[in-house]
Amino acid sequence: MGINRILNHPVLGPVENKKRITFTFDGQTFEGFEGDTIASALLANGIRTLRVHEETGAPRAIYCNIGHCFECRVTVNEADIVRACMTPIQESMAIESGKVQPAPFNTPPEEWPRTYTEYEERNNNQKDGGTNA
């Protein structure tokens, strides 16, 4: 059932009324409940490290838990890279961590856009084939 789970939430009710969902994380089988995100199901099972930092290898985990920071990226069913805090757990989902995930840009970090305006300008330049510098 998970070591960190609230068993009778004052708003959501008792967890035993929820459908149990079995999934794997790095090959190990765990159990969550309908309505769990990947992050909440893993946290309830005592799993905090979801991946490692691309450059340093430092462990990364849930940070914002509202879909903004992308620190919780995991791989699902060997294909999709998703935010664990935003993705509902599903039966037989195969979740993997620990892989070096692709960086959001193919340039060194010091060349990454610092504002959304810079990000949009970069995207527009790429669509124009780099002619709109």
Residues near ligand FES, by CB under 6 A: 62-65, 67-72, 83, 85
CB of residue 68 to ligand FES, shortest distance in Å: 5
Q: Nearest to residue 33, comparing CAs of 48, 47, 22?
A: 22
Cα 93 to Cα 32, 78, 80, 99, 123: the distances in Å are: 11, 10, 11, 17, 33
CB of 50 to ligand FES, least distance (A): 8
69 versus 94: smaller Cβ distance to ligand FES: 69
Maximum CA extent, the chain: 59
CA distance 26 to 115: 35
Q: Which is nearer to ligand FES, 85 or 95 (CB)?
A: 85
Write down the least CB distance from residue 74 to ligand FES, Å: 10
Residue 70 or 121: which CB sits closer to ligand FES?
70
